Structure 1
Amino acid sequence: MAATTTENILKETMQRYEEDASDDKSFEELGVDARLIRALLKKGIDKPTPIQRVAIPLILEGKDVVARAKTGSGKTFAYLLPMLQKLFANVDRKKQAPNAFVLVPTRELCQQVYIEVVSLIELCRVQLKVAQLNSNMQASDLRAALTGPPDILISTPACLAKCLFDGVLQPASINATLETLILDEADLLLSYGYENDIKSFTPHVPRSCQCLLMSATSSTDVDKLKKLILHNPFILTLPEVGNNKDDVIPKNVQQFWISCPANDKLLYTLAVLKLELVQKKVLIFTNDIDMSFRLKLFLEKFGIKSAVLNAELPQNSRLHILEEFNAGLFDYLIATDVSQSKEKDEAPKEGKGSRKSRKHKLKLDSEFGVVRGIDFKNVFTVINFDMPRSVAGYVHRIGRTGRAYSSGASISLVSTDEMETLEEVKAFVGDDENKGSNTIVEFPFLTKNAVESLRYRAEVIYHFLFSFTLEEKTCKQP
């Protein structure tokens, strides 16, 4: 009986907040601190997004929240604003450990969240300290960063587990001090292999701690985290207002697909770019690191300047490439989505497989993720050179364009082996219920004759480039 009553209360509460979210409320009406509102205005943000209108009042009331909304919908500020407001209330409090933890799946997302937090704090002129940690830091550096201690800690779960293992953070201090725990991109945390790291940490989270899970998709991993992390009985799932599937991919993003043989994907990519059939900037996703280098070398022979972004590159190189891409020094970026690669699933377990496979795996940065957590500026077109292996992977990739309600487009090159994935994506975004809304259609601007006109030269270039090993031909990043 008690469980039923609680469920009814949650449903009524959720309905009330969703009704409020449909209203065009201001940040002030949501109860946001005046200092934060002024900071937002300086950033050019004058009104909340739908997910912010739903989530902010709930978080300010101290409720545990699971917020699901599409990429680019404003989830980061949906949790940062109430988190900071809570800390503003008692800046001079004594503490043994940070009051707020923000855990994210990738190092790049750590950097992005850190920049946003520091910017808001500086604009509000409040004395709060923020620490950003990563697993490559030595124990001495971790201790130095946590001296104080800081008010906010931004990290990956692996780094937090390392801090506990090395004694940099004390479980008792966390239990006595932690007030807010945020898991951003919650649907990726377990898929990135952080489950054991999270489990090592959760026993030390006090029951009074407010826990927030932010996600772009619903998944069994999010459900698992809810059971593992959340203590407060008010657990509310907050889909974007309307709760329609076509909201997951913005209606302002046109989605296309091209049928092509697997061994002609280089040719078709060349045709689309060389004939200028898509608008720049262009983000191209591959599932394989070697193929990303091949594509880069191939396009360069036709005067198309690009760069690659993958987990084999050191973080400083990745940041440099991203800065140049965002600054417009080149218009084409080839990103490898290792989470969608067959090699990830087929990688040998410890003690098994070839030495070569294990060596290759060690090169990859486990805290790097290109699908989310990287702030790509002004990307208009996303090209799936390889189809992702799941609908969720497709949604995350397309979320790199059409951000903040700007227009965008996507093109997926689909081989015979990938048709099943395409059908799954079509069913998700264009089923009967959503007919006439956001669907995927064949790309109408590339003709067979246009492709064939480039075939002879493309094949000559391909054989010239790749008659040698890839390692002999791979050049440095621009």
Structure 2
Amino acid sequence: VAQAVRALVLVPSKELGQQVVRSLRQLAAFCARDVRVADLCAQTDLAAQRPVLMEKPDVVVGTPARVLAHLSAHSLSLQHSLELLVLDEADLLLSFGFGEDIKSLLWAQQLHAHVPPTLPQRVQVTVRPPEPQLPGSSQLRQFVVRCGTEEDKFLLLCALLKLRLLRGRALLFVGTLARCYRLKLFLEQFGIPACALNSELPARSRCHVITQFNRGIYDYIVATDEEAPAVPAEQPPRKKRKGAAQSKGKDPEYGVARGIDFQNVAAVINFDVPPTVESYIHRVGRTARADNPGTALTFALPEEQDDLARIEDALAGENGESMLQPYKFSTEEIEALRYRCRDAMRSVTKQAVKEARLREIKDELLNSEKLKAYFEDNPRDLHVLRHDKPLHPAIVKPHLRNVPEYL
């Protein structure tokens, strides 16, 4: 049989694509000479990937935009050889701007030739995903904290992490890029290292952060959930939070809350209430996987109560009881930390957040591009490249790192 591309796997994000490639190569470890997998998700020039495609790998994994670019450049041909087309997270692919790319891809390669002639040329594709399910309460504990002010959110998070009330690795989800760095800088004030994960970072850096987190190198990731589905028409539009301005450098093929395999996540903290029920399910679904226990904790301000109510109604049990139980703790016991929390919040100014974003992007671009050749020759040294180093654009106050016994 002539060597040719037999299978094409389309993924919505580069991070998910990298994990799919890794899994396929592990499955084909004992027949690597017979089954070759090509990764088109990497953020490299088309010319750099062309030699790989010239060898006609058996399986190609990529995002719709990148695959379509190679088809247009005639470096990839699927017209006479493709036997299997896989749409990973199909509803996400067809719902967030990839639908036209997929249609163009199919028609450009005349894959529609397999469609019966009785069907019209313009076929409306509708995907009805299965109803997402979360584990039961015996495996996944879901809590909600109704905070009166923004300061209460930061105070509670500081107490949970600094006093080790929440053990194990955790994902912290926020709503905007600015809040991602604000929270990271706030944690730095207390000597708590955390990685930022958002669409502004280079794809190679994002994938490396996820890989190192799964290896246990980091304990906390502060992530933005920018691929969350849009609010349906029947729901009122959500007010934009300050700092929610869109960045020109955002990667449209970024996705964290969904599809990515984060391993051994003990807890998911929704620092900001997710805008939709689906977003909540996919965030919380990062923990309590493979029969492991997990905890989900959601902080809600008064202006976020409408979003929270929709989530509680959708996840209510048969008797109408909410699955999100109140998180029981004594506010008085952590009140002594409030002045320290307030002191740290004052240090994290808008200017500090802006400088942190610029510095993080510059550092990660340096790591991603300048060191690429070195790490290709020395792959074992890649583990020393860390992404949770302090950014320090804000004034760091050393006394906040240590919590006295009387507190």
Taking structure 2 as the reference length, what is the TM-score of the superposition? Answer: 0.75
* Contact 1:192-1:366 at 8 Å conserved across structures: no
Q: Which residue of 1 aligns with 2:111?
A: 205
Residues 340 and 372 of structure 1: is their aligned pair in 2 closer, same or farther, counting only changes over 3 Å?
closer
The C-alpha deviation readout for 1:155-211, integer Å capped at 9, x for no partner, is 1111111112222234xxx232211111011122134421221121132324549xx
Tell me the equivalent position of 1:471: 354
Contact 1:287 1:341 in 2 (8 A): no
1:72 maps to which residue? Answer: none
The match for 1:310 is 198
- What CA distance in whole angstroms lies between the structure 2 residues aligned with 1:142 and 1:154? 12
Q: 1:257 aligned to 144, 151, 161, which one?
A: 144
For 1:58-103, what per-residue CA distance to the aligned partner results, in whole angstroms no more than 9, with x for missing partners? xxxxxxxxxxxxxxxxxxxxxxxxxxxxxxxxxxx225x5111110
Question: What secondary structure is seen at the aligned counterpart in 2 of 1:177?
Answer: coil
- Tell me which of 442, 446, 451 is aligned to 2:326: 442
Cα 1:150–1:262 change in 2 (3 A) is farther
Partner of 1:404: 290
Question: Which amino acid counterpart does residue 258 of structure 1 have in structure 2?
Answer: V
Instruction: Note the C-alpha offset of 1:148.
Output: 2.9
Q: Structure 1 stretches of 5 or more lacking a match?
A: 1-92, 210-224, 231-236, 240-244, 343-356
Q: Does 1:175 align with 2:83?
A: no
In the other structure, the counterpart of 2:156 is 268
Query: Following superposition of structure 1 onto structure 2, how do residues 74-473 of structure 1 map, counting pairs within 5 Å?
Result: 93-94=1-2, 97-124=4-31, 127-134=34-41, 136-170=43-77, 174-203=78-107, 204-206=110-112, 208=114, 227-228=124-125, 239=130, 248-251=133-136, 252-264=139-151, 265-340=153-228, 361-431=247-317, 433=318, 439-444=323-328, 446-466=329-349, 468-472=351-355
Cα distance in 2 for partners of 1:143, 1:149 equals: 10
Deviation at 1:458, TM superposition (A): 1.0
RMSD: 3.0
Task: Return closer, same or farther for 1:150/1:206 CA change in 2, 3 Å cut-off.
Answer: farther
Q: Which runs of 5 or more residues in structure 2 are unaligned?
A: 116-121, 231-243, 361-386, 390-407
Give the Cα separation in 2 of the matches to 1:316 and 1:326.
16
Report if aligned partners of 2:15, 2:206 keep a CA contact under 8 Å in 1.
no
| Structure 1 counterpart of 2:345, one-letter code | Y
Which protein has the bigger helix share?
1
SS of the aligned residue for 2:69 comes to: helix
Q: Is the 8 A contact 1:110 1:154 kept in 2?
A: yes
Q: Distance in 2 between matches of 1:465 and 1:135?
A: 34
Distance 2:129 2:223 in 1: 31
Give SS of 1:190's match.
helix
Residues 288, 341 of structure 1: 8 Å contact kept: no
Aligned length: 339
d(CA) in 2 for partners of 1:322, 1:250: 23
CA distance in 2, matches of 1:186, 1:159: 17
Contact 1:256–1:410 under 8 Å retained in 2:
yes
Cα distance in 2 between the residues matched to 1:338 and 1:419: 20
Quote the Cα distance in structure 2 between the aligned partners of 1:291 and 1:440.
Answer: 24
Q: Distance in 2 between matches of 1:472 and 1:141?
A: 33
Cα deviation 1:403-449 (Å, max 9, x = unaligned): 11211010000111221221211122214x3657x8111111x3221
Q: Residue 467 of structure 1: CA displacement?
A: 6.9
Say if 1:154 and 1:454 are closer, same or farther in 2 by CA, change over 3 A.
same
Q: Is the 1:286–1:384 contact (alpha carbons within 8 Å) kept by the matching residues of 2?
A: yes
Structure 1 CA distance for aligned equivalents of residues 83 and 29 of structure 2: 22
Q: Supply the distance in 2 between the matched residues of 1:465 and 1:195 (Cα, whole angstroms).
A: 41
One-letter identity of the residue aligned with 1:454: L
Residue 43 of structure 2 contacts residue 203 of structure 2 at CA under 8 Å; is this kept in 1?
A: no
Q: Which residue of 2 aligns with 1:49?
A: none
Q: How far apart, in 1, do the equivalents of 2:310 and 2:23 lie?
A: 36
Note if contact 1:101-1:152 (Cα within 8 Å) is conserved in structure 2.
Answer: yes
